[in-house]
Amino acid sequence: MTGTVPAPRGAPPGGLLLGRMRGVPVLLAPSWWLGAVLLTVLYAPLVTSLLPGAGPVSALLLAATLAVLLGVSVLIHELAHCAVALWLRVPVLRVRLFLLGGLSELARRPAGPRDEGLIAVAGPLVSVLLAVLSGAGWSMLEPGGALWLLVAEVAVANAAVGLFNLLPGLPLDGGRVLRALIWMVTGRRRVGTAAAVVGSAVVAVGLLVWALSGLATGVPGGWLRLGVCALLAWFVVSGATTEAIAEHSAGWPDGLAPAALVCPVLQLPAESPVSDTLVAAAGRGVVLVRADGVAAGLLDLPAAERLAAVSPRSPAEQAAEPIRPEAVLLASDPGEEVLERVRGSANRQLLVVDADGRPVGVLHRADVERALAAQG
């Protein structure tokens, strides 16, 4: 499950930092714990029926293990999305696990249907592969023991994650693959999104019907099925709604060249006094460069003014906004691409470079917002 929602500014937000993959923060959201508790409580009775000799404590422990294994399965699934996105040079803001799912938050939309399809299909392929491998190991174990059940849980968890995400509705990977295929055929991403939103409604209704039919026929674990399906149906509907709103949001204003909003840029030493830097800026964007030639960041004007008010001789680097990969634009980027970058970046200003990577200007988020507001 991948997305394009930008992360807030500052330290990695959204939960407990588990680690980083090539600089991308991997987070465990607080809601994941709620999902884990619900799954443990609902799955424990099924463990007792599968292993009659297991006591209440053992059943709870095995059920809790399933919740953890499911979380690990989702994490591997999302890291596959992340790896392919980075390989295709699509910046990833963060990978986040929440409730019973996960999200790889991209800094911008993939450039075309091919990239969208490759990123989307990577997760399910890895999940299905892990399910096959663990299933093969499970078939060689003596049935009836705790290890037998745990390996079966790994196989089932990965199969469920992989196959569920192939369903043709947003924000699931199958919905993204469907959108990519229709986008490729029609040349219009919006048409693909509309089809995948319809698919989401079909998926949500199908999940609820399947769950209710299980309760009506008295299948084992019927309440577990209903609880999980209700959560997944809610996730699909809410995610599809968000995708539809984002797809129909305002585009780049007609007739406006991105260059018209770009202000000139000035390069200054990062150790320059902040008061002198503000004077030298004179309405231009400022790239602060350290002595070793590495850019320290862009001068954050409000932060620099606050710093100059209390300590005018402090190094300007202390008021620098980091230059993140998603906050770098090519001077030749079209308006829609510029808008995607602005929406996908947490920075207040973006650095514009030429084809050789040399800074040629700075684009301020506020200027883009004013242009969109004027468009109505």
Query: Both tokens of residue 257?
Result: 């060249």
Domain boundaries, the chain: 2-247, 258-375
pLDDT of residue 12 exceeding 50: no
DSSP code per residue over 224-260: HHHHHHHHHHHHHHHHHHHHHHHHTS--PPTT--GGG
Torsion of the alpha carbons at 35, 40, 45 and 50, rounded to the nearest 10: 110
What does the pLDDT read at residue 7? 43
Residue 14: which pLDDT band, with cuts at 50, 70 and 90? Answer: low
**Can you read off the two tokens belonging to residue 351?**
């650095």
Superfamily of the domain at 258-375: CBS-domain (3.10.580.10)
Q: Which of 19-23, 48-52, 173-177, 321-325 shows the highest mean pLDDT?
A: 173-177
Q: What is the mean pLDDT of the chain?
A: 86
What b/e readout covers 70-94, taking b as 16+ CB neighbours within 10 angstroms?
bbebbbbbbbbbbbbbbeeebbbbb
In this predicted structure, the answer to whether residue 95 has a pLDDT above a threshold of 90 is: yes
pLDDT in tens, 248-274: 665 677 678 888 999 999 999 999 999
Q: Please say if the pLDDT value at position 121 is more than 90.
A: yes
Q: How many CA atoms lie within 13 A of 335 on its CB side?
A: 15
- Does residue 126 carry a pLDDT above 90? yes
Give per-residue pLDDT as tens, 135-162.
998 989 888 778 888 888 889 889 988 9
In this prediction, what percent of the chain has a pLDDT beyond 70? 94
Strands 328-330 and 320-321: unpaired
Segment 52-68 shows an average pLDDT of 85
Q: Evaluate if residue 5 carries a pLDDT over 60.
A: no
pLDDT confidence band for 3 (50 / 70 / 90): very low
Residues contacting 229, CB < 8 A, separation 6+: 207, 208, 210, 211
Distance (Å, rounded) from C-alpha 286 to C-alpha 297?
9
